[in-house]
Amino acid sequence: MKNIWITGASSGIGRALALKFANEGWQVAASARREDLLNEISELNKNISPFPLDVTNKEKCKEIFEQIKNKYQSIDICFFSTGTWDPKKEKDIDIDQMKNVMEVNFFGTLNCIKVVEKYFKEKNSGHISIVSSVAGYRGLPNSTGYGASKAALNNLAESLYFDFGRHNVRVSLVSPGFIKTPMTDKNEFRMPFLKTSEFAADKIYNGLVNGSSFEIDFPKELTLILKLLKILPNRLYFYLIKKLTKLQKL
C-alpha cells in the first residue's frame, strides 16, 4: 500500500485530493490547521489520518513529519497545497497582508519541503508536488501578494526539479485555473472555465500517479490561453490584460 502526505487537506483541492487518493486505496496523512475539518474527512474514509499542522511553524513541521514517518514507515508522495488569499486586501499595496501571504503560500510550503529533503534524498526515490496557480505565470491586476507568492513557487519548483532530480526524486508543479473552493468564493469577478475541486482532484491524481510531466495544469481551455500570454511581448500583454480587466470591471 502506498502513502501520501497532503497539506491544505481541510478544504478545497487538498480535501478533494485526500478523498480521491483514499478512495483509490492509498493511505493519506492529511494536514491543515483546522483539526475539526480534518477529523470530518477522516471519518469519511478510514484511509485518511489527520495530522493537524500550521505550516508556518517550522518546528511543528518537523514534529508532524516524524509522526507520519513513524506511522507509515515509507512516504511515496508529498503534496504541498497550503494557500491563502484575500482579494479585498490586494487592491492596494498592503505590506502586512503580502508578508502573511508569502509566509503561508511560499515559506509554509518551503518549511514542508525542507523537512522531507533529507528523507527523500537518502531514500533516492519519491515525489514532491507543489501547488501553485496560473496566477503565477505573469503579473495580474489586484494580485500584489498572491500572484507574487505563486510566481516564487514556480521558480522554486523549477530549481528543486534539478536539485532533487540528482537523487531520483521527482518534483512536479500543479497549476490550477479557477477551481470552486472557499478561497475562490471570495472573488468578485466572473471566473472563466470554473471547475469543481473534484475535477481538479481527478486531474492531479492522474498527473501524479499516471503521468511524468513536470507541470500538471488545468483546465486546458484556460491554461493554454495563459501560456500563450506568457510568451507575448510586454507591450502586447499589458494591452490585452487592460482590455480584459475593463470588461471584467476589475
With b meaning 16 or more CB within 10 Å and e meaning fewer, what string describes 240-249?
ebeeeeeeee
Helices and strands: H and E segment counts in the chain: 9, 7
d(CA 184, CA 186): 5
pLDDT at position 9 is: 97
DSSP string, 202-218: HHHHHHHHT---SEEEE
Q: Quick: pLDDT tens for 221-243.
A: 999 999 999 999 999 999 998 88
Phi, psi of 74 (to 5 degrees): -130, 135
Residue 17 has pLDDT above 60, yes or no: yes
How far is the C-alpha of 110 from the C-alpha of 105, rounded, in Å? 9
Run of H or E including 245? helix 234-248
pLDDT in tens, 94-138: 889 899 999 999 999 999 999 999 999 999 999 999 999 999 999
Active site residue: 146, 161, 205, 237, which one?
A: 146
Mean of all residue pLDDT scores within the chain: 93
pLDDT digits (tens, 9 = 90+) for 141-192: 888 899 999 999 999 999 999 999 999 999 999 999 988 877 676 766 677 7
State the average pLDDT over residues 13-26: 98
215 pLDDT higher than 50? yes
And the C-alpha cell for 183?
478561497
Please give the domain boundaries of the chain with CATH numbers for all domains. Answer: 3-248 (3.40.50.720)
pLDDT score for 250:
45
Measure Cα distances from 55 to 7, 18, 82, 149 in Å.
8, 17, 8, 15
Dig out the grid coordinates for 89 from the structure.
486586501
Report residue 76's pLDDT band, with 50, 70 and 90 as the boundaries: very high
CA distance 178 to 197: 10
Is residue 146 part of the annotated active site? The answer reads yes
For the chain, strand residue ranges (E) read 3-7, 27-31, 48-50, 77-80, 127-131, 170-176, 215-218
pLDDT at 188: 65
* H or E element in which residue 13 lies: helix 12-23
pLDDT at res. 187: 66
Element (H, E) at 94: none
Buried b (16+ CB within 10 A) or exposed e, 59-83: ebbeebbeebbeebeebbbbbbbbb
Nearest 5°: the CA angle 210, 215, 217 is: 90
How far apart are alpha carbons 132 and 153 in whole angstroms?
Answer: 6
At residue 248, the pLDDT reads 53
